[in-house]
Amino acid sequence: MPSIIPSYVYTFFAISIIGTLLICAFSAFAVSMKQDIEVEQLKNLLEHVAAESCELISTTATNNSTVSLKISMPASLNQKQYWIQLRNDSSTAWIEGGLGNTPDQSSLTVFVPGIVYASGVYTSGYGFAELECQLQGTTVCLNLSQESGT
Q: pLDDT tens digits for 78-122? A: 888 889 999 888 888 889 998 887 777 667 888 888 788 899 998
Which residues have CB under 8 Å from 73's CB, separation 6+? Answer: 45, 122, 124, 127, 128, 129
Q: Which ranges in the chain belong to alpha helices (H)?
A: 4-63
CB atoms within 10 A of CB 73: 21
Alpha carbons 127 and 58: distance in angstroms, whole number: 26
Q: Is 75 exposed, middle or buried (0-12, 13-18, 19+ CB in 10 A)?
A: exposed
CB atoms within 10 A of CB 68: 13
Does the predicted TM-score (pTM) go above 0.85? Answer: no
- Averaged pLDDT, 4-17: 85
Domain region containing 8: 4-147
| Bridge partners of residue 83, in order along the sequence | 98, 123
At residue 22, does pLDDT exceed 90? yes
Of these ranges, 24-28, 36-40, 96-100, 106-110, the one predicted with the greatest mean pLDDT is: 24-28
User: What confidence tens digit (pLDDT) does each residue in 44-82 have?
Assistant: 999 999 999 888 888 877 777 788 889 888 888 888 888
Backbone angles phi, psi at 45, to 5 degrees: -65, -40
Please give the tally of structural domains in the chain: 1
CB atoms within 10 A of CB 26: 10
